[in-house]
Structure 1
Amino acid sequence: MLTAAALSLLGGAVLCWPRVRPGVVTRPGRLLKWLRERPVRDRSVSGVSELLRSAATLDLLAACLAGGLPVSVALEAVGPAASPKTAAALRSVASHLAVGVGPAEAWAPVRDRPGLTELSVAAVRTARAGTALAAHAKDLARRLRESLSAEAEERAERAGVLLAAPIGLCFLPAFLCLGVLPVVLGLAGRLDGLL
């Protein structure tokens, strides 16, 4: 009886043992290093922070344009809030617009920046139609934040589901050994005495 309970508990522990390289658990520093070096399947943290900075930059651009600044001056003003590569692309666009380059050519450096591709398309379209670029920038910033929020909610839900499986695998053998097995053995002993 005791050996069956011990084997069940041991089986649960073996099933829940993390799959790490040998020697990783011996020192906490090595465990942290292993966790940092694991490949990330989804969008990286730097990609998310880049998109958040792009959304903040778009909000600032919308505020500058709504305040009446010309597009080239507004792009120069929001440059420090952006990441270094995005700031360089915005400065390039501002300098192109300042010297009179056409909108399609002037906005080309921004097309490959995360979150700003739609801004370049909207800027070319507004230059032809004469509509306000501020509304497009504000709408794009809102959509970027909503997509990041939805992605974060999906990740949290996925993590909850993935965490439930190992917990169930660890606690199920213990529940069977400590909760169900003693009751069954007690009932079997009483039935044996009755027969």
Structure 2
Amino acid sequence: MLTDVGQCNHDDSADTVLPQESTILALLIAAVRQGSSIPRALDAVGDAVGGSFGEGLRKVATALLRGVAWHDAWRSAGSEFVLDDDSGQVDGYEHALFELLEESLEPSWRSGVSPVARLEATLERIDADERARIEQAAGKLSVRLLMPTGLCLLPAFILIGVVPTVASFMS
């Protein structure tokens, strides 16, 4: 599962912005619906996306067309996401997206059925996760906005409303 669902990441090597995973899945769905095979769809989407991620998709497509085994094609093409220049860490977003595509397309590659249903299910899951994340963030924001407002209005309410009322009862 992706960690930062819905966030565009910057690819420093190609100076491009990687589209959201839902956009990439939608492009794959459109390519397959138009009659492209999985390797041709990966090649077309890789060309459209560009950058190191797009190059990785094109490498997978080329390897699959040459007859390389499914997992070997994805592993060899995904090796370029292994190290980040500065920290030596794996680029989590691109690597997770690469694994998501591999996982979503593998049953179709092995059994020969259309990958559209599985890609659409993956897209719906990603969209649902994104909506849940947005709703959770909105809930946190409402608490953050309400707290300062309450702290400002409560003393004013006490000074303007409660103190004069209590003072009028005492006199």
Into which bin does the TM-score normalised by the smaller protein fall? 0.7 to 0.9
Structure showing greater relative contact order (alpha-carbon pairs closer than 8 Å, 6 or more residues apart): 1
CA distance in 1, matches of 2:167, 2:19: 60
Matches within 5 A, 1:37-48: 48=7
- Please, which of 159, 162, 167 is the counterpart of residue 185 of structure 1? 167
From 122, 126, 129, the equivalent of 1:144 is 126
Identical pairs, percent = 31
What stretches of structure 2 of length at least 5 have no aligned partner?
10-17, 80-93
2:33 aligns with one of 66, 69, 75? 66
The CA deviation at 1:184 is 1.2
Q: CA deviation at 1:138?
A: 2.2
DSSP-derived class of the 1:89 partner: helix
Following TM superposition, by how much is the alpha carbon of 1:84 offset from its aligned partner in structure 2, in angstroms?
2.5
Q: How many residues align structurally?
A: 146
Moved over 4 A (4+): none
Question: What is the alpha-carbon distance in structure 2 between the residues aligned to residue 104 and residue 125 of structure 1?
Answer: 12
1:52 Cα offset (Å)? 6.0
TM-score, normalised by the number of residues in structure 2: 0.73
Partner residue in 1 for 2:15:
none
CA-to-aligned-CA distance 1:69-90 (integer Å, 9 cap, x gap): 1222211211244363321221
CA distance in 2 between counterparts of 1:81 and 1:148 reads 24
Pick which of 146-155 and 47-56 moved more.
47-56
When the two chains are superposed, the root-mean-square deviation of aligned CA atoms in Å is: 2.6
Gaps of 5+ in 1: 1-42, 190-195
Point out the structure with max Rg over C-alpha. 1
The counterpart of 1:90, out of the listed 46, 57, 64, is: 57
Q: Is the 8 A contact 2:105 2:119 kept in 1?
A: no
Relative to structure 2, which stretch is displaced further, 163-172 or 130-139? 130-139
Show the counterpart of 1:153: 135
Q: Does 1:75 align with 2:75?
A: no
In 1, the alpha carbon distance for the partners of 2:135 and 2:98 equals 23
Q: Conserved in 1, the CA contact under 8 Å of 2:38 and 2:109? A: no
Deviations 1:6-38 (A, max 9, x none): xxxxxxxxxxxxxxxxxxxxxxxxxxxxxxxxx
Shift of 1:168: 1.0
Structure 2: distance between partners of 1:53 and 1:176: 49
Cα distance between partner residues in 2 of 1:129 and 1:44 = 31
Give me the whole-angstrom Cα distance separating, in 2, the residues matched to 1:101 and 1:187: 89
